[in-house]
Amino acid sequence: MPSKINILPEFLMKRIAAGEVIERPASVAKELLENSLDAVGTSVSLLIKGGGISQIQVIDNGEGMTEEDALICCERHATSKLQKPEDLEAIHTLGFRGEALASISSVSRMTITTSTGDEEGTQVIMDSGRVHEVLKLAANRGTTVTVKDLFSNVPARRKFLKSQNTELRHIVSLFRRIALSHPGIDFSLYIDDEKTMDLRGGSLEDRIRDLLTEKRASSLIRVEKKSSAISMVGFVSRPGEALRSRRDQFFFLNNRYIVNRSMVHGVLSAYGSRLGRDEYPIFLIYLEMAPKHFDVNVHPTKIEVRFIDEKYVHDMVKGSVQEALRKPMAVPELQLVTGRKQKKSFSGHPYRNEGDYGQLTLEAQRPEAGENVIEYRQFPDKEVPSLWQLHNRYILSQIKSGLTIIDQHVAHERILYERALESKRGNAGLSQQLLFPQTIEFTPDDFLILTEIFPYLEKIGFGLKEFGRNTLVIEAVPVEIKTGRERELLLEIIEEYKLGHNENTDIFEEVATAFACKSAIKSGDRMTFQEMAFLIDRLFATKEPYFCPHGRPIVVNLTLEEIDRRFGR
Ligand code: ADP
Ligand code: MG
């Protein structure tokens, strides 16, 4: 009886393995780009045709390969990156398996043209995993790998590919990740023979500026933290400038893009209530740490990383983002948008009209700590802050970098909110007794709510007494609020509390938010100079002078540069 078990022919085995590594054109692009980066050159180009299905080509000016190496690099488990047993660690850290080229070549027509620069170059032409032809030719130092007709010999897989446009989108986002992880390298991207991106190597800031739109990049603030095990730098968007999608959220670990859920959680919880529903902050966070502190899922296409101490990394990310968001740098800057020129190469293509890739203002123009200080005008006998009220709504003042604009209502709201929270910690709010106590009758359900928040209102400084069924007497109010409309105010607080309250929030915080929102100076209230000066003093004495309890900005700056630019100076 013939044996039922057959050894699979080598080429079939490769093809099966390929399914594991190579999901779609973007996975080919990823492997080839990573190989080029490993070969340490200064420039890498990616050329795509037909969504990567017809052709993917990667050209680098790295160290190249000898003829011998070029022939064995497509064998399974051929890698120059694992020499000693200790290097096995690299599988856990970087995912080297010496498998990518073998897999790709088995499901495509692949050509490698390479030269070390010292001798004649080599061209290896492969077809479905077999060497078809080897040529000697003149070639510059570096390597060009061309992959054509991906999956044409694996019809089942080809069927699962999405439209060319979808595949292209995956490639473009992969390209952005790779470019962001190696800011020092020149990168270019050609789509169907047209140069779509052309990135000069430079600083991380330069690279981010080139890859995000001007508006997005200018909304970023720097985060930084170092401990003995981890060093972290990055950028996050100012609150209020979040996006509707997650596309500009990146983590890199030792210069590789990674995915890690607890880090995402760390960033989002640092924003807390500053993020609205369906709002996603931009973040680009770069970690450096020794391989012993993390594990990479060894599945070649996965970029998921597990940290040995997840909580430590989570808390570090959260803490440093929180810190950054509290700084004056987090003050949004008003941009007077003008029709600035766009780079020609970005026009006329679906991936090119995403926005303005022109020159922009990042770090350099953020106000330094301490710069957001109201400047004083010299008068013969005294110094007076320069303050103006605009339309009974905004307070304008000169600061070092230009002009600061303060929203009077939210500024007061922040002051009252922090004052209310203070009272929770035992510092009961100061009260003023009313000359004529006021009686309010409530509907039974509102009254029920009131008894629930009664103790909190008293802590804040309200003097309240029950007076028969569903009736309340207001005897005193917090000193901070204007008297005369206590009744309306209390009703408004109840309404606001009803609106904002949900199971998961702290009742005291809810009451404090409602109180602050309803008791604050309204937009439209005229303020005297003294009131404005007092408000500003107290605002900058709060813990978070730049954002109101709902997450809206309190202060917006307009730089002199921006004004000068507007005037064509
Ligand atoms: P791995 O990257 O895991 O080593 P690959 O199959 O991706 O496995 O590549 C196999 C080997 O081919 C690499 O270890 C490297 O020596 C060589 N190689 C691949 N691409 C390049 C390149 N662009 N420049 C120089 N050498 C390369
Ligand atoms: Mg590789």
Take atom 19 of ligand 1 and give the residue whose Cα is closest.
Answer: 35
Is 81 a pocket residue for ligand 1 (Cβ < 6 Å)? yes
Higher pLDDT, 446 or 120: 120
**Cβ of residue 59 lying under 6 Å from some atom of ligand 1:** no
Cα-to-centroid distance, 73 and ligand 2 (Å): 10
Q: Which residue has the higher pLDDT, 562 or 409?
A: 409
Q: Please name the residue whose Cα sits nearest to atom 12 of ligand 1.
A: 73
**pLDDT range class, residue 11, cuts 50, 70, 90:** low
Pocket test for ligand 1, best of 20, 27, 34, 35 (most atoms within 8 A of CB): 35
CA 99 to ligand 1: nearest atom = 6
Q: Compare 21 and 309 and report the one with higher pLDDT.
A: 309
The answer, yes or no, to whether residue 347 has pLDDT greater than 50, is: no
- CA 194, CA 449: separation in Å to the nearest integer? 65
Is the CB of 143 within 6 Å of ligand 1?
A: yes
Q: Which atom of ligand 1 is nearest to the CA of 100?
A: 6
Among 144-148, 177-181, 336-340, 473-477, the range scoring the smallest mean pLDDT is 336-340
Please indicate whether residue 104, judged by its CB atom, sits closer than 6 Å to ligand 1.
no
Write 171-176 long-range contacts (CB < 8 A, 24+): 171/25, 171/26, 171/29, 171/46, 171/48, 171/51, 171/52, 171/56, 172/351, 173/26, 173/247, 174/26, 174/29, 174/30, 174/33, 175/29, 175/33, 175/46, 176/211
Judged against a pLDDT cut of 50, whether residue 202 lies above it is answered with yes
Weakest-pLDDT range from 75-84, 458-467, 473-482: 75-84
pLDDT at 420 over 50: yes
Q: Is the pLDDT of residue 134 over 50?
A: yes
Alpha helices in 182-244 (DSSP H): 204-211, 214-217
Our answer on whether the CB atom of 481 is closer than 6 Å to any ligand 1 atom is no
Place of tokens 């500003």: 536
Pocket lining: 142 vs ligand 1, CB cutoff 6 Å: no
Whether 78 lines ligand 1, by a CB cut-off of 6 Å, is yes
Give the mean model confidence (pLDDT) for residues 346-372.
35
> What proportion of the chain, given as a percentage, has pLDDT over 70?
80
Nearest ligand 1 atom, CA 80:
14
Instruction: Mark out the alpha helices in 4-50 (DSSP H runs).
Output: 10-21, 25-38
Q: Is 484 exposed, middle or buried (0-12, 13-18, 19+ CB in 10 A)?
A: exposed
Across residues 440-445, what is the average pLDDT? 86
> For residue 544, what pLDDT is reported?
84
Report the side by side order of strands in the sheet with 194-199. Answer: 130-137, 121-127, 109-115, 142-148, 55-60, 43-49, 186-191, 194-199
Residue to substitute in 73, 75, 92, 103 for testing ligand 1 pocket (most ligand atoms within 8 angstroms of CB): 73
Tell me: pLDDT of 99 over 90.
Answer: no
Neighbours of 435 (CB within 10 A): 6
Question: What's the whole-number mean pLDDT along residues 40-61?
Answer: 96
Mean pLDDT on 96-118: 88
Identify residue 180 by its one-letter amino acid code: L
pLDDT in tens, 215-246: 778 778 899 999 888 999 999 998 777 777 88
**Contact indicator for 215, 242 with CB cutoff of 8 Å:** no
Whole-number Å distance, alpha carbon 191 to ligand 2 midpoint, is 23
Q: At what angle do helices 444-460 and 408-424 cross, to 10 degrees?
A: 80
Reported confidence tier of residue 467, pLDDT bands at 50, 70, 90: confident
Determine how β-strand 555-559 pairs with β-strand 142-148: unpaired
Q: Is the CB of 260 under 6 A from ligand 1?
A: no
Query: Can you tell me the distance from the alpha carbon of 68 to that of 483, in angstroms, rounded to the nearest whole number?
Result: 89
- Give 186 Cα–ligand 1 centroid separation in angstroms: 20
Q: Which atom of ligand 1 is nearest to the CA of 96?
A: 3
Q: Which of 44, 60, 61, 80 to mutate to test the pocket of ligand 1 (most atoms within 8 A of CB)?
A: 80
- Name residues whose C-beta falls within 8 Å of residue 554's C-beta, 6 or more positions apart in sequence: 406, 407, 410, 411, 414, 539, 545, 546, 547, 548
Confidence tier at 350 by pLDDT (50, 70, 90): very low
Helix 529-539 to helix 408-424 angle (10° resolution) is 50
- pLDDT at residue 122 tops 70: yes
58 alpha carbon – ligand 1 mean position (Å): 13
Lowest mean pLDDT among 164-168, 313-317, 326-330, 513-517: 326-330
Confidence band (pLDDT; 50, 70, 90) for 212? confident
Closest CA to 417 of 528, 312, 537, 512: 512
pLDDT for 539-561, tens place per residue? Answer: 988 888 888 877 778 988 888 88
What residue spans of 212-338 are helical by DSSP H? 214-217, 261-271, 310-326
Q: Is 62 in the pocket of ligand 1 (CB under 6 A)?
A: yes
Overall average pLDDT of the 499-528 stretch: 84
Ligand nearest to the CA of 78: 1
Radius of gyration of the chain (CA): 31
pLDDT of amino acid 357 = 29
Is the pLDDT at 476 greater than 70? The verdict is yes
**Which carries the bigger pLDDT value, residue 177 or residue 92?**
177
pLDDT band, very low/low/confident/very high, at 490 (cuts 50, 70, 90):
confident
Q: In sequence order, what are the beta bridge partners of 191?
A: 48, 194
**88 Cα–ligand 2 center, Å:** 15
Query: How much is the pLDDT for 186?
Result: 97
The confidence band for 348, taking pLDDT boundaries of 50, 70 and 90, is: very low
Task: Tell me the average pLDDT across 254-265.
Answer: 91
Q: How far apart are CA 516 and CA 74, in angstroms?
A: 68
The atom number, within ligand 1, closest to the CA of 35 reads 20
pLDDT, position 406: 94
Q: Is 1's pLDDT higher than 60?
A: no
**Residue 319: both structure tokens together:** 């803490």
Q: Report the alpha-carbon distance of residue 81 to residue 98 in Å, rounded.
A: 8
Sheet-wide strand order for 249-253? 220-226, 230-237, 283-289, 249-253, 256-258
What are residue 439's DSSP bridge partners? 473
Q: Which of 78-87, 258-267, 341-350 has the lowest mean pLDDT?
A: 341-350
Confidence of residue 407 (pLDDT cuts 50, 70, 90): very high
Q: Hey, what are 296's tokens?
A: 């990479």
Percent of the residues in the chain that have a pLDDT greater than 90, as a whole number: 37
pLDDT of residue 184: 95
Of how many residues is the chain composed?
A: 569
d(CA 13, CA 452): 70
The pLDDT assigned to 553 comes to 83
Query: Which positions ≥6 away from 276 have C-beta within 8 Å?
Result: 242, 551
Atom of ligand 1 minimally distant from the CA of 104: 6
Residue 271 or 424, more confident: 271
Query: Residues near 182 by Cβ (< 8 Å), separated by ≥ 6?
Result: 37, 255
Is residue 416 left, alpha or beta, with left meaning phi > 0 and alpha meaning psi from -120 to 50?
Answer: alpha
Distance from the CA of 79 to the center of ligand 1, in angstroms?
A: 6
Any ligand 1 atom below 6 A from CB of 60: yes
36 lines ligand 1 (CB under 6 A): yes
Q: Please give the order of strands across the beta sheet that includes 431-441.
A: 431-441, 471-478, 463-466
What is the phi/psi pair of residue 307, to 5°? Answer: -90, 145
- From ligand 2's centre to the CA of 197, what distance in Å? 24
Strand runs labelled E in 227-333? 230-237, 249-253, 256-258, 283-289, 294-296, 305-307
Please tell me if the CB atom of residue 100 comes closer than 6 angstroms to any atom of ligand 1: yes
**Side by side, which strands form the sheet with 555-559?**
387-390, 394-399, 402-407, 555-559
The confidence score (pLDDT) of residue 395 equals: 95
Give the ligand whose atoms come closest to the C-alpha of residue 114: 1
- Averaged pLDDT score across all residues of the chain: 82
Give kind and range of the element (H or E) at residue 397. Answer: strand 394-399
Answer whether 35 contacts ligand 1 (Cβ < 6 A).
Answer: yes
Q: What integer pLDDT is reported at residue 414 of this predicted model?
A: 92
Assess whether the C-beta atom of 96 lies below 6 angstroms from ligand 1: yes
Nearest-angstrom CA–CA distance, 9 and 22: 20
Residues 116, 66 contacting (CB under 8 angstroms): yes
